[in-house]
Amino acid sequence: MTNRVRKAIFPVGGMGTRFLPATKAMPKEMLPVVDRPLIQYAVDEARAAGIEQFIFVTGRGKSAIEDHFDRSIELEALLAAKGKSAELDDIHESLLQPGNIAYVRQQEPLGLGHAVWCARHLVGDEPFAVLLADDLIQAETPCLRQMVDVFDAAGGNVIAAMEVPDEHTSRYGIIDSGGADGRVRPVTGLVEKPAQGSAPSNLAVIGRYILTPEVFTELERRETGAGGEIQLTDAMAKLIGRQPFHGLAFEGRRFDCGDKLGFLEANVAFALERDDLGPGTREMLARIGDLSE
Ligand code: G1P
């Protein structure tokens, strides 16, 4: 068994009901932050962490994602004919090596754990990453790279963690780290979407995971949890004590792009970081500020 993280799963089967009507005929993962679809950020982050094989767990109505990572011969010819080399380079850079991208369908929306389980044969018996494209992370060192570094040093399972306010703990998987703090914390318990007031801490799981293949054995049981869904958090919780489990309080800013305000904020934050758009965005924000006074 290899001990390198070479494969990543991208669960992209979700319906995106929170962004209707925009997501009626378009996958939510194709919503652009500035000029790149959300899924492109997740794939680029995985590439920067050394991932070589990209496994998408899709569903009906998601074919735009497949097209996005495919060649577009007509478009490329058009850009070349018009001398638009910057755009052409950008499109070429977003392509993955032939054969390094695979799609498997989750036939029914039975939960995140079930989506991950659908990729079990493509992952096989080796550690793997899971990235949720809704969680967009702006960081100097990409979040998954930070996690792979922890994995290479410590092994086991690594999940991304972030402190959230009391009133938000019921939206997340919550980590019990036995009160430890610091960048890398031991995970001694995990609970998916605890009822208000019952969370073991304020440390939330963010959508980046490095997991050992044993989690598939737990997912195989198809036990349901919060919301009647097969939860990845519950399957991970079963591995605690049997394998090393680390929560990484990663460096960077996370935007919840499954939420309208989080998505808007991400657009502004990523535009501000860009040389071509930063100054214009700053002026625009000042103008809007004037209007709202
Ligand atoms: C999923 C996970 C949850 C995690 C969250 C991070 O929940 O089940 O444990 O905290 O992603 O974004 P979802 O947002 O799909 O409800």
Q: Is the CB of 225 under 6 A from ligand 1?
A: no
Whose tokens are 């996370």? That residue is 254
Higher-confidence position of 57 and 95: 57
Higher-confidence position of 1 and 234: 234
Q: Evaluate if residue 58 carries a pLDDT over 80.
A: yes
Q: Evaluate if residue 49 carries a pLDDT over 90.
A: yes
Q: Evaluate if residue 6 carries a pLDDT over 70.
A: yes
* pLDDT category of residue 180 using cuts at 50, 70 and 90: confident
Looking at residue 212, its pLDDT comes to 97
Across the range 200-212, mean pLDDT stands at 97
Q: Evaluate if residue 291 carries a pLDDT over 90.
A: no
- Can you give 132-157 as a three-state secondary structure string? CCCEEEECCCCHHHHHHHHHHHHCCE
CA distance 174 to 165: 12
Contacts of 73 (CB under 8 A, 6+ apart): none
Q: Is the CB of 115 under 6 A from ligand 1?
A: no
Q: Evaluate if residue 1 carries a pLDDT over 80.
A: no
Looking at residue 75, its pLDDT comes to 93
Strands 7-11, 53-58: parallel, antiparallel or unpaired by DSSP?
A: parallel
Q: What are the sequence ranges of the domains in the chain?
A: 7-156+206-242+249-258, 260-293
Token pair for 234? 């519950």
CA of 232, closest atom in ligand 1: 8
Token pair for 153? 């040093």
Question: Could you read off the pLDDT of 261-285 as tens digits, one per residue?
Answer: 999 999 999 999 999 999 999 999 9
| CATH class of the region 7-156+206-242+249-258 | alpha beta
> Do 224 and 106 meet the contact criterion of CB atoms below 8 Å apart?
no
**For a substitution probing ligand 1, which of 164, 193, 205, 255 has the most ligand atoms within 8 Å of its CB?**
205
CA of 173, closest atom in ligand 1: 9
Looking at residue 290, its pLDDT comes to 81
CA of 207, closest atom in ligand 1: 6
Which residue's CA is minimally distant from atom 8 of ligand 1? 173
Question: Could you read off the pLDDT of 208-245 as tens digits, one per residue?
Answer: 999 999 999 999 999 999 999 999 999 999 999 999 99
CA distance 156 to 141: 21
Q: Report CA(286)–ligand 1 centroid distance (Å).
A: 34
Q: Is the CB of 230 under 6 A from ligand 1?
A: no
CA distance 231 to 224: 7
> Do 165 and 238 meet the contact criterion of CB atoms below 8 Å apart?
no
Looking at residue 289, its pLDDT comes to 83
